[in-house]
Amino acid sequence: MPTPTLHEALTPRDLEILRDVVRSFILTGVPVSSRAVSKHSGMGLSAATIRNTMADLEEAGYLSQPHTSAGRVPTEFGYHSYIESLSPAPRISPEDKLRIDEHFPFGGESEELVGRASQLLAELTQQIGMIMVPAIGDTILKTLTLVPLSGARVLCVIVSSSGFVDSKMIELDSPASPEDLVAASNYVTTHFAGMTLRQARDHLLALMAEERAQVDRWLATTLAVAQRALDDVHGADVLVEGTSGVLTQPELADVRRVRRLVEKFNDRAQLVQVLNRLISGGRGVRVVIGEESELTSDVDFSLVATTYGTEEQELGKVGVFGPSRMNYRRVIPLVEYLGERLSQALQSTASGLR
């Protein structure tokens, strides 16, 4: 497949006809004929001239023809060329901006903020809103608190520097005193705050191995409790909203395509891997269309996504997943702005924790 970029060989007329085909297909979902383009292009060209241009665009890889007698539809290359031709870059509408600002005040619970992001994307676009929630083990530790329960059970509450909270119940070999648990909490927070949880766990294991023969009772308890508290932390997950609305799209009239879509969301671990691979670090929106990825190919969908996070670290990806004929002029700036506002809100939460 050609690298998605505009060719200098495209004349202004070629580009305008390509834009018209893309806009028409986005609106109707029906292959676009030269006659349809001639009716509303405003260029004063005959259907024959437009038909010849569309044939040239097909040969160059911008359009395809599903059936011999049908009109033409954009290819991945055609969509990307259309997106790159949106100059000046499309800006978020005042209505969308206001809606997002209302939902993302500075500060708030981090879990609530990311959950709100996927819901809002689904509502605003009528597509699938997706957001990757970071693995707690990959977030930066702020505090660890150990709370005694009955018997030898202890509740471990981990707070990351970005405001994400994880709690788990652990079972010790024997009961620990409240004083020992407070001391263990303070020790981990003091010595390992600023590391990711996985780094903190690795340091603890190394410390246990080095001092196994000479460690005192208090430090032994501290290391044992902390090691169990930081072990087996949950992995990254993906929150998905809006699947029911997308099922009404004509692209999903085929039951087999619906089944494939459901299968993609059932395996969340693989979905996380795909998102990480597709959306690399750094600012800006990435658009993945059709055959460009295993996530989008067999359902003819597109992913418009960006990263979000705090000043300290990237936390995940957020975006819209839906039929390839989505309204890119609106969706791209919407995803970009929501990612920025979510990051700002999380940064405010992180600053408030310091």
pLDDT in tens, 79-99: 999 998 887 788 999 999 999
- C-alpha 21/C-alpha 106 separation (Å) is 42
Q: In terms of pLDDT, which residue wins out, 218 or 200?
A: 200
The pLDDT, as a whole number, for residue 203 is 81
In this predicted structure, the answer to whether residue 21 has a pLDDT above a threshold of 70 is yes
pTM of the model: 0.81
Q: What is the CA radius of gyration of the chain?
A: 26
In degrees and rounded to multiples of 5, residue 318 shows phi and psi of -140, 140
249 three-state secondary structure: coil
The pLDDT, as a whole number, for residue 238 is 86
| DSSP character string of 115-134 | HHHHHHHHHHHSSEEEEEEP
What domains lie within the chain, and their CATH numbers? 12-84 (1.10.10.10), 94-134+236-353 (3.30.450.40), 137-230 (3.30.390.10)
Give the pLDDT confidence of 284-342 residue by residue, as tens digits.
899 999 888 888 888 889 999 999 988 888 888 999 999 999 999 999 999 999 999 99
Q: Which residues pair with 153 in a beta bridge?
A: 171
The pLDDT, as a whole number, for residue 329 is 94
The pLDDT, as a whole number, for residue 179 is 85
Q: How confident is the model at residue 107 (pLDDT cuts 50, 70, 90)?
A: low
- HSE at residue 349, side-chain half, CA atoms within 13 A, is 26
How many CB atoms lie under 10 A from the CB of residue 126?
A: 17
